[in-house]
């Protein structure tokens, strides 16, 4: 994963994203496979796996239909990314735009 602009290089870091920060994007850099869907009417919560062992949640406005095993793609902005150092302290970032995920 390419870190957001302004991330200090060479140190262990954790990327934090709120589920509401992810948006469906057919060309988005974050690719995953649906594991579970909770359709709540006003929003749809999607549990998905990416990079084999990484599990994330996306909370999407509205009612969306997904099935287990469906391929999904998401994007997010750098403004939605939160970076934490090895001690759990937030790392201030210079913000520029979209976050790349590889």
Q: What is the tens place of the pLDDT at every residue in 6-50?
A: 666 777 788 888 999 999 999 998 899 999 999 999 999 999 998
pLDDT of residue 60: 97
Domains of the chain in start order, with CATH, are 1-6+32-86 (2.40.50)
- pTM score: 0.75
* Tokens read off for 91: 């790392």
pLDDT of residue 92: 78
Phi, psi angles (nearest 5°) of residue 90:
-70, 135
pLDDT of residue 102: 43
- Neighbour order of strands in the sheet with 23-24: 23-24, 71-75, 30-39, 43-50, 54-61
Contact assessment for residue 83 and residue 7, using Cβ atoms and an 8 Å cutoff: yes
């Amino acid at each position: 994963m390419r870190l957001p602009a302004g991330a200090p290089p060479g140190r262990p870091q954790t990327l934090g994203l709120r589920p509401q920060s992810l948006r469906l994007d057919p060309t988005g850099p974050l690719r995953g496979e649906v594991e579970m869907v909770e359709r709540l009417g006003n929003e749809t919560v999607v549990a998905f796996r990416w990079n084999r062992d990484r599990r994330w949640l996306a909370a999407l406005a509205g009612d969306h239909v997904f099935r287990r095993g469906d391929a999904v793609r998401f994007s997010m902005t750098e403004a939605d990314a939160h970076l934490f150092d090895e001690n759990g302290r937030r790392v201030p970032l210079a913000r520029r735009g979209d976050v790349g995920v590889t």
